């Protein structure tokens, strides 16, 4: 399952260069700055948020079933 989520995320970022550029820009930033930047980006891009949540949903469901 993790492999599928990872592959889907990779494909999404490859086909959405501005989103990939944003995530790449977070590298090296302190955790607080990354969190704030991510929140701001997702608030400004609700479609991206929804699409990424959809990609991650199988992992969220799996963890919920396993109590992880």
pLDDT for res 1: 76
Supply the mean pLDDT for the chain. 95
State the sign of the Cα–Cα–Cα–Cα dihedral 18, 41, 5, 55: negative
CA distance 57 to 68: 14
CA distance 38 to 59: 20
Residue 2 pLDDT grade (very low, low, confident, very high; cuts 50, 70, 90): confident
> The whole model's pTM is what?
0.85
CA distance 4 to 32: 29
Does residue 22 have a pLDDT over 70?
Answer: yes
Does residue 23 have a pLDDT over 70?
Answer: yes
- pLDDT tens profile 29-47: 999 999 999 999 999 999 9
Domain borders along the chain are 2-66
């Amino acid at each position: 399952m993790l492999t599928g989520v990872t592959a889907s995320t990779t494909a999404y970022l490859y086909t959405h260069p501005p989103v990939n550029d944003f995530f790449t820009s977070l590298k090296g930033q302190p955790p607080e700055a990354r969190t704030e930047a991510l929140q701001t980006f997702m608030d400004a891009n609700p479609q991206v948020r929804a699409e990424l949540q959809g990609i991650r949903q199988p992992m969220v469901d799996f963890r919920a079933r396993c109590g992880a």
